[in-house]
Amino acid sequence: MNKLWPASLDRSPAGATPAVLPAEAEIRCGGHRLRLEPATLLAPMSGLTDTVFRRFIRQVAELAAAPDSAAAEPRLPFGGCGLIMTEFTSADGLIRSEKVARRYLSFAPDEHPIAAQLFGSDAVALSEAARVVEAMGFDAVDLNLGCPAKKVVKCNGGSGLLRDLPLLGRLFAALRAAVKIPLTVKFRAGWDERSLVHLELARMAEASGVNALALHARTRAQGYAGQAQWDWIGEVKQAVRIPVWGNGDVRCPEDAARLVAHTGCDGIMIGRAAASNPWIFQQIETWRRTGAYREPEQAERGRLMLAYFQQLAGAGMPGAVGKMKQFAAWFSHGVRDGARLRQAIYTARAEAEVIARVEEFFTQPITELVI
């Protein structure tokens, strides 16, 4: 995965012609209408998409702007991202402990529209957890059928359920009956390439009342390796009438436009690329509107990293230092001399020490930094 971006660059990849990308999408569920404007989604990512990171994505342009200047980018609806999702949360854990809800499902009013993602294989537990999510005020509930982690799969959760379509049918029906808010599903194409189920699963989900689908165009066997097979997304789009979002290998606005052109999907879901390039939603929407987008400068990257770390420290979340180091592993690949920055962060032991080292790095004269 290429994580490197130029330090400062104005791009007009389509010759100043706006990209052909969907401006909005709508999820319909009875009397509910959930509008995504724009039609981009932040994928749920374990250990990353907590409330601090989600709000960070919404506020990227403002956080990166210099204190004495206007925002680095024009303010866009919802920060350029139409829908954000929580980390995946165990349905069993949620109904057994309020601590799980506080840790994984806490959200702020300015995070709307927001969906909660659940995983599990018991219809009763998933139904009760979905009712909890609805009562908490989430705009939608999503079922995880994509996580490839062994500890999740061995409990028949995540992508493990791709091997049991009859059970999935029962889970879809139970979840649909449990709540009135939109129900969505994020899934992989199958356990491996010899057992693809994406079309059968999509049709079954639609028949069960699922309101939208997001396909990560890889199999469980692939994990996050290899190339996403966008053809599978196009096949699902042709097979159902509900909205279909494409996920996999979208690293820049050009990729987003290519995915839409190739598959006809209704929207783009972005995961790991958002950690490397938090500006990606802003860039996609700016390109769609104007035909060009801008790459952030080194100083903007520094302000953004500091703002995120300061928010983590201020939130009093457990494991804040670990989250800082995790984010640095992704984000610093877009920074000049990023290896030295990562080393400085990895050896820090406290939140204040991490912040001080980031401040020191980005206040050096630009001539001292090497690519």
The catalytic site residues sit at 147
Note whether 290 and 18 are within 8 A (CB): yes
Contact of 182 with 27, CB cutoff 8 Å? yes
Structure tokens at 300: 């903007």
Rounded distance between C-alpha atoms, residue 243 and residue 154, angstroms:
30
Q: What is the largest CA-CA distance in the chain?
A: 62
What's the CA angle centered on 244, arms 242 and 245, to 5 degrees?
A: 150
CB contact set of 87 (below 8 Å; sequence gap of 6+): 44, 45, 46, 47, 48, 49, 50, 104, 117
Burial class, 367, CB count within 10 angstroms (exposed 0-12 / middle 13-18 / buried 19+): exposed
* Other Cβ atoms within 10 Å of 167 Cβ, number: 14
Distance separating alpha carbons of residues 213 and 146, to the nearest angstrom: 12
The neighbour count for residue 123, using CB atoms within 10 Å, is 18
Under a CB-based contact definition with an 8 Å cutoff, are residues 153 and 159 in contact?
Answer: yes
Q: How far apart are CA 307 and CA 203, in angstroms?
A: 44
